Amino acid sequence: MKPIIITFLLSLLAISQSYAQKEYESSTLHFFRTDRLYGKWVKVNVITNDSVIGKLKNAQRLIYEVSTRDSVTVSGLYKLMNKETDESITFKPEPGKDYYFEIFFYGDMYKPTAVIWTGTTAIQMSDPVEYGVKIVGLDPIVGREKFNDESLFKKKNETIVIK
């Protein structure tokens, strides 16, 4: 009788450990902005599942660990102008896998198109200025190479790690 009880308890322990391992499996998200002149002043909020997980300055990297239980949606937000990424990326992360995302700030310069004379004053008209934040999911090999290329980042090894 004792061997049966011991076998039963050991099997329960093994089952509970397998569930515990599945509960804590995770994936790693790597976000980065390479060193660029345009948009250098912009700090982009990195968002996963509607929560801000950090701010990325120009030429900075961020590493974030997520659970693989649920789908993940990633995007960026330029808070000063309340401009969110044009498109967010939603995916189901696989356990132990790394995902790479490059974030860009883009925009046009002031573009004068016409001068209108009102008799005494000149009014300058311009096209609307387009700007925003873009997030791009990269192939794991390309993403890893760019993420680890120190020449693309201003301060070497400046990486924010959030676990």
Give the residue extent of every domain in the chain.
26-162
* Percent of the chain with pLDDT strictly greater than 90: 20
- pLDDT tens-digit series, residues 38-87: 777 888 888 888 888 988 888 899 999 998 888 898 988 777 666 666 67
CA 58 to mean position of chain CA atoms: 13
Q: What is the pTM of this model?
A: 0.71
